[in-house]
Structures are given as C-alpha cells and as structure tokens.
Amino acid sequence: MRFVEGEYEPGSNVLRLWHPRRVTLNEPRLVEQFFQNVVELLKACPRPPYLLVDYTNFHIAAEMTQFYARQVKAYRHLTVGVFRYNLSPDTEGVLTKVAILVANRAAANIFPDERSAREAIGKARLAPETPQV
C-alpha cells in the first residue's frame, strides 16, 4: 500500500506530494514504510527538489516524534527544502518538534494552504542557504 502519491514539476523543481487516503503513523513500521514511499519519489527526480506536501488525510501520533525525526534526517539530503500545508493541529505540533530535533536552526515550513507554501518556495529560492526540514 502506498501512503503518498507525488508529481514532479520540472519547471519549478517541485515534487508535490499528497495522501490519497487517511494515513495515521502510529507505529515505527508504518513510519518506515511511509518514508520508503517518499524516498522512492524523491530518487525519481533528476535533482533534489523542493518538496511541497499536502498533509490532508495525514496524522502522526505524538509518540512517533523521535522516530519520525530520525527518518526525516535520513532523507533530508535528497531535498532542497520541505514546505507543508493543510496540517491538522496535532500533526502540526509533532512536526514543529521534529524541526527542532532535526536541526536547531531548521524551519518547520508550515503554511495554511498551497498558495502560501508555493510563495515560500519562491522566497527560499532567493534566500541564502538556510536549513529547511
């Protein structure tokens, strides 16, 4: 079962990800499977992309924060940055903690909608290197 679907936009070097059905990462095995799907999609891109993730249908259990953070670190080098939108309040809190665990200067890059997230990607292209989890 695939947890995430994606589409690469070559003109903007954006890999857009979404969750076609409800995903709840509440055990380590599911977190690993989820990130295997994400890494497959990232490796199919011709160069490290900006990752634009729609978190509709996606939930992370609070007890998976540490495990999720380790998985983020493992794939981080395959992206330019990760930009998230449409998060549930519980998942937003977990991802904020993940950003702190991954790199103390990293931005969580959480936005209310796709338009805002895409605008942030545009600004990131113009900014000097800053860690983006």
Domains for the chain: give ranges and CATH numbers.
5-126 (3.30.750.24)
Asked if 109 and 84 touch (Cβ cutoff 8 Å), the reply is: yes
Query: What pLDDT score does 94 carry?
Result: 74
pLDDT at 83: 93
Structure confidence at residue 100 (pLDDT): 56
Q: Compute mean pLDDT per 10 residues along the chain, 133 residues long, and list them.
A: 93 96 93 94 97 93 85 87 87 70 64 95 79 52
What pLDDT is attached to residue 132?
A: 54
What pairing do the DSSP bridges indicate for beta strands 110-111 and 81-85?
A: parallel
pLDDT for 133 equals 52
The full DSSP string for 23-69 is EEE-SHHHHHHHHHHHHHHHHTSSSPPEEEEE-TTEEE-GGGHHHHH
Tell me the whole-structure pTM to 2 decimals: 0.84
